[in-house]
Amino acid sequence: MSDRKVILFGATGMIGRGVLNECLADERVGQVLAVGRSTLGIKHESLRELVQPDPADLSAIADDLPEFDACFFCLGVSAVGMKEEDYRRITYDLTMRIGRTLAAANPELTFIYVSGHGTNSTEKGRSMWARVKGKTENDLLALPFRAYMFRPGFVYPTDGAVSKTRLYRVGYAIIGPFIPLLRRVAPNMINNNREIGRAMIAVAVSGADSHVLGPREITARATP
């Protein structure tokens, strides 16, 4: 299994960095291609990078795409303060461009998308981000590859990973000391970023009973 190839989007973010760390530490993953707008600033024998302004432009690696076994999609932004059209452009349009390209290149690919607890699969409701995420999930699941939607609960960082959203950073600083207690009180509502990475690898290797995984299922798949 050590020759498994993963393409990772969003590795510079808090969740993506945890997923990257797990991929580089797992012997089942032989190569990780991190695609993003900025370099990661780390070196590893299993890590390649594709740095460019448009992460959805995969023309430079078009010939290599059929060789990838899985895509871990951790790219995203907070909806706080954003207009719906701007949030949709990043959350839906960019994701679907990448999803369609990968599905066309390799229908056997496993595509795992980090969504969020509370995503609205009906694509309706008051919450803008939940509607857009719901539309994104539904359209990814309709593509001709093996797609799984990860809906983590409260996600806290490990290994020094930092959220790019200031509001979240402040929240982590306040809540951080209480994480061990919260995990005992509400174990099925909290995930950490490396746990998400372990669960992604497990699902890429052996699949899952459901194509939509909430906090409880993510924790279960992350547990050896």
**Tens digit of each residue's pLDDT (9 = 90 or more) over 46-95:** 999 999 999 999 999 999 999 999 999 999 888 888 999 999 999 999 99
Angle 215-222/193-206 helices, nearest 10 degrees? Answer: 70
| Overall CATH class of domain 4-222 | alpha beta
0.85 surpassed by pTM: yes
**Tens digit of each residue's pLDDT (9 = 90 or more) over 92-143:** 999 999 999 999 999 999 999 999 999 999 999 899 999 999 999 999 999 9
**Tens digit of each residue's pLDDT (9 = 90 or more) over 12-58:** 998 999 999 999 999 999 999 999 999 999 999 999 999 999 999 99
Tell me how crowded residue 178 is: count the other CB atoms within 10 A of its CB. Answer: 10
Q: What's the CA gap between 70 and 200, in Å, rounded?
A: 9
Q: Shortest CA distance to 165 belongs to which of 59, 51, 70, 76?
A: 76
CB 205 within 8 A of CB 194: no
Q: What's the CA gap between 124 and 145, in Å, rounded?
A: 26
| DSSP H helical ranges for the chain | 14-25, 84-88, 94-105, 128-141, 166-175, 179-185, 193-206, 215-222
Which residues partner with 213 through β-bridges?
150
